[in-house]
Chain A
Amino acid sequence: MAGPHIVVDGVSKRFETSADAVPALSEVSLAVGRREFCTVIGPSGCGKSTLLAMIGGLVLPDAGQVRIDGQPVEGPDPRRVAMVFQDPALLPWRTALDNVAFGLELRGMSRPERRRIAGDLLGPLGLREFAERYPRELSGGMRQRVAIARALAIDSEIVLMDEPFGALDEQTRLLMGEWLLSIWTRARKTVVFVTHSLQEALLLSTRVVALTARPGRVKSVLEVPLPYPRDLESPGLASLRATLWGEIREESLKTMGR
């Protein structure tokens, strides 16, 4: 299909608090192409997560519109969009396998079929032996892989990831990034990935969108036309990193000065 896969068109959102309304996003527009890995980065509280929730239909904008394949988003649509959150949010009373199958179950798929599909996913994710374990018996990295498998199981064209590795230690985080890339290159999905890590953004994305401090606006869009796997020490990445840090630093300072 021609045209961008996801269009965010002049979207604004305010959140009502008991005292007043806090503007979270202000007239954000961006377009994400099919099979792109687009990272949204910005200082804390800039509305990155809100933007992602709006693309996923969990939050509706006050103004503007989000369109997927040209159709306005009016609510969660798991046939087209799967989501991964910072908290793996697995159902603690279900095994890893049944957690992976959760989205398929909500879709009305029979138990043997959804368990077969979920089981096929666990192997490549290094979780085969852990299929019948409960979330509390898994490490943080494994839990997040189960959450990602749950998103992949419903086989949507778009995967939205909200700081999925934010709670992990740095080594695990780097490995999870590599692992995610290998999946993305094989599955060729459109990914929108929210992070506050420059390194993660540069290693993973085809494009980085930097947001300003609250209320979030698009500050700059940076193409990363480098092949995978990437080396943080390479000159190309180092100069991109310097550029991006320049953009982010200014906004982070604003946040700190508040």
Chain B
Amino acid sequence: MIGRVLAARAALGLGVVLAWEVAARARDPLLYIPPSRVLPALARLLLLRSFPLLPEHVWLTLREILVAYALAVGVGLAVGAVLGLRPTLGRVYAPLLGALYAVPSVVWYPSLMLLFGLGAASKIAFGFLLGVYPVVLAVLAGVRQVSRELVTVARAFGAGPGRVFRTVMLPSMLSTLTGGLRAGLALTVVGVIVGEVLGSTAGLGYLITYAYGLLRTADYVALVLVTLAIVLAIDAAAGLAERRARRRWA
């Protein structure tokens, strides 16, 4: 069964690549880069021939993601907890958050560049801005899922605030919370890379704009593939962390 699923997926992938190759050759091979040109470009990229500084750029992007995500999680959990556990504050401020969330975040980016400059800080700020909302909203939704009866039982059996949080609130919120944390991570990655694409001097997004701007389209596609692989790896790591958390707390 699994073999057939994999075979079907491979067939689809092969079909797409073939169609891509045929279509690209039929049109302009410079603009519609065929796979047969991407593969050598990818090899040159990974062998550090086309962009010898690739590791530094990737490492910078990863660090930006890491810092932005740490901020998004820390601030998101704190803000969510305060708004969720203080109903009055929640009623006053939570609707504002929802309204801000509805604004396409990319409109904030120019002001972030003005505030934080062209370097890593503006990318971190943009990744944070995108990533923090899902975390806050997940905590707000999660707090509402906690049953008052369970909290009362835990208190009756001698749990203080810390134990109530650990034994009742955290497990009750877990699936909502992990969902928000993963969505936040995905959006942080988007924010950092989009930030680099829109204006920067270093990082994966910068390399992509650079290659694209010089019409080195094969290199550009190879860089996109590397970005894709990194994003998939980050998501896989997040999935692993989520399964561990579930085993540990629920």
Whether B147 sits at the interface, judged by CB under 8 Å, is: yes
Question: How far is B154's CA from A204's CA once the two chains are assembled, in angstroms?
Answer: 28
Q: Mark A90-103, 1 if CB is under 8 A from B, else 0.
A: 01010000000011
Residues on B with beta carbons closer than 8 Å to the beta carbon of A78: 156-158
Contact B147 A106 (CB under 8 A): no
Given contact pairs A87-B149, A106-B163, A93 touches B171 in the complex (Cβ within 8 A): yes
> CB-CB contacts of B137-153 with A at 8 A, as 1s and 0s?
00000000001011011
Contact of B149 (CB < 8 Å), options: A79, A85, A93, A106: A85
Are B152 and A85 interface neighbours, CB within 8 A?
A: yes
Q: Does B159 contact A (CB under 8 A)?
A: yes
- Interface of chain B: mostly helix, strand, loop or mixed: helix
> Could you give, for residues 56-96 of chain A, a 1 whenever the CB lies within 8 Å of some chain B CB and a 0 otherwise?
10100000000000000000111101110101010101000
Q: Which of B155, B156, B250 has the most CB of A within 10 A?
A: B156
Q: A residues 104-158 with Cβ under 8 Å of B?
A: 105-107, 150, 154
B152/A107 in contact, CB under 8 A: no
A76 with B171: CB separation less than 8 A: no
Q: Is B167 interfacial (CB-CB < 8 Å)?
A: yes
Closest-by-CB residue of A relative to B171 is A93
Interface residues contributed by chain B, number (CB under 8 Å): 16
From 177 to 206 in chain B, residues with beta carbon under 8 angstroms from any chain A beta carbon are: none
A87 to B157, CA, bound (A): 15
- Among A76, A105, A107, contact of B156 (Cβ-Cβ < 8 Å): A76
With CB as the reference atom, state the residue of chain B lying closest to A87.
B149
Does any Cβ of A come within 8 Å of B77's Cβ? no
Q: List 12 A-B contacts (CB under 8 A).
A: A56-B156, A76-B156, A78-B158, A83-B153, A85-B153, A89-B147, A93-B171, A102-B167, A105-B167, A106-B157, A106-B159, A150-B157
